[in-house]
Chains A and B, each alone.
Chain A
Amino acid sequence: MVDESKLREKAAEVLAREDVRRLIGWKRGTYGFEAAPCVIKDASEAEALIFDPTCVQNPASFITLEEKKPVPRGQEADTRKIAVMVKGCDSRAIVQQLVEKAYDRDHVIVLGIPCLGVIDRRKAAALFGDVASQVSAKVDAEKVAVDVGGDVKTVDRKDILMDKCLRCRYPNPLVYDELLADEVEKWAGDEFADVGEFEGQSPEEKWAFWEEQFSKCIRCYSCRNVCPMCYCVECVVTKLQPQWTRRATDISENTVYHIQRAWHLAGRCIECMECQRVCPVDIPIMTLNRKLTRDVKEMFEYEPGVDVEAQPLLASYNPQDPEDFIM
């Protein structure tokens, strides 16, 4: 586990540097099982920073949110760096953003944190109910100790951790400038059993499932907004000319929205599961993303967010690509 005093010390040290503008990390949430992401600009604020299994958010989502305003004549653009704390899965988002040249490597200072898993608030709510007090937690290789307002309870890992953590392949950050704790040992593999299971159904069964799920969608676009890979300045779903998808929330437009969203993440999704976490109507969005991740891995032997030197999947090709569906 991370020593929090060391983490704060390091954050203060980084923030004190001349060439650092701000730091993105986590602080304790006001209530419930999730911490709050925070952006701090001054070394004195570093005391608020934490890291424990409540830190589910992906801070890499915030790097690309910054608006790049035109600089008035005679002024210099602010080229100071952004420091960001990342877990293993978050670091893959940074790798993929670097692959896509969203920013330069020296634009960010990555403070890597090896992670043993984070809490799924839906699973936690099933165990603890609605919690109005602040929650902290500790995790090790077997158990999660959850502290709900001073009342400590030990829970089995699989009952409370996010699904992505139970099959985590990259617990250690893949890209970092400094590592804030010792690397942890990998505990799981990913066989994509859930994808295989879903695929076994007939088209009618699949559509019956998705029709129900998509008809719930209220098109709040939370899944798009939270996604670290959805950083287009102008998004295709809000574009009016041409209008690819209408704004009505009927089954037709909702389906097209979700196909579009999954499609735009083909070969880019790094499985941080933020989209599914923030969904207010509990649509299993990752089912679509994981299908594409699995197929990309099988057909093109490509895994996004692992190699900084890689080419983006759909902007490259191999003459030997499979073409078994082509007549």
Chain B
Amino acid sequence: MSAEEFEPNIVAFLCNWCSYAGADLAGTSRTQYLPNVKIIRVMCSGRVNPLFLVNALQQGADGVLISGCHPGDCHYMEGNYYARRRYTLMHKLLEHVGVDPGRVNMSWVSASEGAKFKDVVEDTVTKAKEAGPMEQFRRRRINW
């Protein structure tokens, strides 16, 4: 498969209060954003267990995006601060294991930033395309 043909699978964990509304705004305002991204709505970016991310990479995602409210704007006051600590570290750990750093992405998108959501998705897809298909620890079906 050549680099041009490769369409990465992106799993996006969006927080209900900001980023999901931001993605919704991008939709209602007819902004075209790339269809590679599969959105999973969570109540807060702090709800995303780091193992979600590892399991997504294991089960077929080529890139992961976690998006939440801007620092200080969390609906639950501090959820995104915890998430920020976690994913900064998780990003470093995965990088150390040899996962391309472009596969793990995080962003702050508020409910009014439909245009920013489009940019974030484009950026994530570009990085995942550069990294190529995720083959390192993809779970393979056993062929008996």
Contact = CB atoms under 8 A, between A and B. Distances in A.
Chain A interface helix/strand/loop/mixed: helix
B98 A204 contact: yes
Interface string A275-299: 0000000000001100110011001
A14 interface: no
Which interface residue of A198, A236, A259, A296 has the most chain B CB atoms within 10 A? A259
B88 A206 contact: no
Given A207-B136, A326-B108, A262 B93 contact: yes
Chain B interface helix/strand/loop/mixed: helix
Nearest to A255: B137
B140 interface: yes
B99 A291 contact: no
Contact of A291 (B96, B136, B138): B96
A321 B81 contact: yes
Contact of A260 (B51, B85, B100): B51
A210 interface: yes
B43 interface: no
Nearest 5 CB-CB pairs, A to B?
A: A207-B98, A206-B98, A317-B81, A255-B137, A327-B107
A313 interface: yes
A122 B108 CA distance: 48
A319 B58 contact: no
Interface string A241-281: 00010100011110110111011001100000000000000
A262 B87 CA distance: 14
A19 interface: no
Nearest to B140: A252
B31 interface: no
A142 interface: no
Contacts, number: 113
Contacts of B55: 244, 256
Interface residues of A, number: 47
Contact of B97 (A206, A236, A266): A206
B50 interface: yes
A199 B86 CA distance: 20
A314 interface: yes
Contacts of B87: 325-326
Contacts of A295: 89, 92
Interface in A217-260: 236, 244, 246, 250-253, 255-256, 258-260
Interface in B59-95: 71-72, 78, 81-82, 84-95
B139 interface: yes
Contacts of A74: none
A198 B96 contact: yes
Contact of B136 (A250, A253, A255, A326): A255
B54 interface: yes
B120 interface: yes
Contacts of B120: 327
19 contacts: A203-B98, A207-B136, A250-B140, A255-B136, A256-B137, A258-B97, A259-B97, A263-B90, A263-B93, A266-B89, A287-B96, A288-B93, A288-B96, A292-B89, A292-B92, A295-B89, A314-B86, A325-B106, A327-B107
A300 interface: yes
A199 B106 CA distance: 22
B92 A259 contact: no
Contacts of B9: none
Contact of B85 (A251, A263, A287, A314): A314
A313 B93 contact: no
Given A255-B136, A319-B71, A327-B105, A210 B88 contact: no
Given A203-B99, A252-B137, A259-B54, A319 B72 contact: yes
B138 A260 contact: no
Contacts of B90: 263
Interface string B27-51: 0000000000000000000000011
